[in-house]
Amino acid sequence: MREFRVVVAEAEVAGLRERLRGTRWARELPGEGWARGVPVEYLRWVVERWIEFDWRAWEARLNGYPQFVTRIDEQDIHFLHVRSPEPDALPLVLTHGWPGSVAEFLPILGPLTDPTAYGGDPRDAFHVVAPSVPGHGFSVPLESGWDHLRIAKAWAELMRRLGYDRYGAQGGDTGSVVSPLLGATDPEHVAGVHINGGLAYPEVRPGDELTEAERERLKAADRLRAVGTGYADLQGTRPQTVAAALSDSPVGQLAWILEKFWEWTDPAKPLPHKAVDLDHILFDVSIYWFTNTSATSANLYYEGSDQHARSDVPTGVAVFPTDPAIRQVLERRHRIVHWSEFRRGGHFASLEAPDLLVDDIRRFFRLVR
């Protein structure tokens, strides 16, 4: 393992701003709002904010945590390793998704590793390991074949190398698939799995009796399936083609990600920056831009996402307003011992409702520590 720091050359930062100032804006039909995608007026406003965005401050914030790179299965894996001051803390591996990065965990690293400093119980402490998913951010893949199962096996090896014999797993989006697979492939070492932010369409069977809340979540999933999965179809079939535009245009990369922050965040928040701090969104997009990982992150969709295995590891589920989670469906693959439903927050829970997510992670792992 070797220590790692994020260092983006000043010429690249200046080059990004130059590209942003020279944007050729797309034409649009009047009065459509978000129906056809990100409105040009809103995108222009966000771009103006991006031109003024303080990359160095956020780069320093990420570099304030210990980072490392290690090679697993011929792949360089970047990860944060933030140890708790509590000696009996439970190791916990966090897995992000697309269009996320390890940066989405910045609001929860402190509360998870040092609960006492945040008014919590020291017995709830974790040693946090947060890897960059291969293809995302600072884990750029060198070959094809990095699907969810291979990622889970790499995480098991990473935790072994760190000397953690017993640990927990938590994740949303990609992490809601990888974390259970980690439990299924390494059950003798995984104490428990906590997930949120799944996007898989619920496999409801005839005869399943749904609650009113579950019926509403199914309707929302139907709407998303009808109008909101085009990005996945493109990334899952022609990732290299769509990446040609995203890797050459920072505004294209921004719009591609910004639209998801609009569609997947708390429905009570009408605009992305109302749900998530805009600088945090810009930090996430900047990571994709500076690492040029539009194609490599999209490849995970191409590699196949229908990878599931029955896991008997104790599992906790946190359901936020945009999650299409139905308990009886998830219980077919997981041994669920903890279930929570929240009225605020959304798909990016660690950014939208970090207090709720941290509290739920703590409550679940008290059952398995």
Residue numbers annotated as active site: 173, 301, 347
Q: Cβ(291)–Cβ(335) under 8 Å?
A: no
DSSP state of 85: S
- Position 143: which residue type? E
- Please name which of 74, 73, 106 lies closest in space to residue 6, comparing C-alpha atoms: 106
Residues 6+ apart with CB under 8 A from 169: 92, 93, 95, 155, 178, 179, 180, 182, 183, 190, 192, 193, 194
In order, the DSSP letters of 174-215 are HHHHHHHHHHHHSTTTEEEEEEE---SPP---TT----HHHH
Element holding 92 (H helix, E strand) = strand 90-95
Where is 67: in which H helix or E strand? strand 67-72
Give the other-Cβ count within 10 Å of 117's Cβ: 11
CA angle (316, 319, 323) in 5-degree steps? 125
Residue 341's Cα: distance from chain center in Å?
A: 19
Residue with tokens 């999209």: 298
- Which residues touch 178 (CB under 8 Å, ≥6 apart)? 95, 133, 148, 151, 152, 155, 169, 171
- Number of C-alpha atoms within 13 angstroms, CB side, residue 44? 8
The whole-angstrom separation of Cα 77 and Cα 3 is 12
